[in-house]
Structure 1
Amino acid sequence: MYELAILARGGVLLTVWAVAAGWSRGRLAGRLRRDGWQGICRGAWAVPGKDVDWRVRATALQFLRPELVCSHGTAARLHRIELLDGTVDPAYLDFTAPASARSTHDARNRIRVHATASLTAGDRSVRRGLRVTTPARTVGDLIRSCGSREEAVVAADSALARRAVGGVRREALVRYEELAAELAAPRPGGPRARAWLRLTEAASGSPAESVARLRMRDAALFPESQPPLRTAGGRTLRPDFLFREAGLAVEVEGYAFHGTRRAHERDIARFNALQSCPEVRRVLRFTAREVFAAPDRMTATIRTALESLAP
Structure 2
Amino acid sequence: MPDLPDVTFPRDRRIDPSVRSVLVPHWSNLAPEDVVDGVTSMRRTLIDCMRNLPLEESVPIADSAVRAGDITSPALVRLAASMRGRGRRRAMAVAAMATAAAANAYESTLRAIASTVPGLNVEPQRPIRIADGRVLHPDLLDERLGIVIEAESFTWHGETAALTRDCARYNAFVTQGLIVIRFSWPQVIFRPAYVVEVLANAVALAHRHANVARGAPAYAA
Do these two structures clear the TM 0.5 threshold for a shared fold by scoring above it?
yes
Higher relative CO (CA 8 A, sep ≥ 6), structure 1 or 2? 2
Distance 1:210 1:188 in 2: 24
Asked if structure 2 preserves the Cα contact closer than 8 Å seen for 1:95 and 1:114, the reply is: yes
Equivalent residues in 2 for 1:1-311 (5 A)? 90-96=2-8, 99=10, 102=13, 104=15, 106-107=19-20, 110-112=22-24, 114=26, 116-121=28-33, 123-124=34-35, 132-146=39-53, 148-160=54-66, 162=67, 171-183=68-80, 184-205=82-103, 206-216=107-117, 219-231=118-130, 235-244=134-143, 248-256=146-154, 258-274=157-173, 280-288=176-184, 289=187, 292-294=192-194, 295-308=196-209, 309=211, 310-311=213-214
Secondary structure, counterpart of 2:83 in structure 1: coil
Distance 1:102 1:119 in 2: 16
Task: Pick the structure with more strand per residue.
Answer: 1
Secondary structure, counterpart of 1:95 in structure 2: strand
> Aligned-pair distance for 1:214?
1.0
Secondary structure, counterpart of 1:281 in structure 2: coil
Task: Pick the structure with more helix per residue.
Answer: 2
1:149–1:226 Cα change, 3 Å: same
Asked if structure 1 preserves the Cα contact closer than 8 Å seen for 2:73 and 2:99, the reply is: no
1:233–1:198 Cα change, 3 Å: same
1:201–1:100 Cα change, 3 Å: closer
Distance 1:191 1:287 in 2: 29
1:256–1:303 Cα change, 3 Å: same
> Aligned-pair distance for 1:286?
2.4
Structure 2: 5+ residue runs without aligned partners?
215-221
Instruction: Decide which structure has the larger Cα Rg and report it.
Output: 1
Aligned-residue RMSD, C-alpha: 3.6
Distance 2:122 2:7 in 1: 39
TM-score between the two structures when normalised by the length of structure 1 = 0.51
Asked if structure 2 preserves the Cα contact closer than 8 Å seen for 1:102 and 1:113, the reply is: no
Secondary structure, counterpart of 1:198 in structure 2: helix
> Aligned-pair distance for 1:138?
1.5
Asked if structure 1 preserves the Cα contact closer than 8 Å seen for 2:101 and 2:125, the reply is: yes
Distance 2:41 2:207 in 1: 42
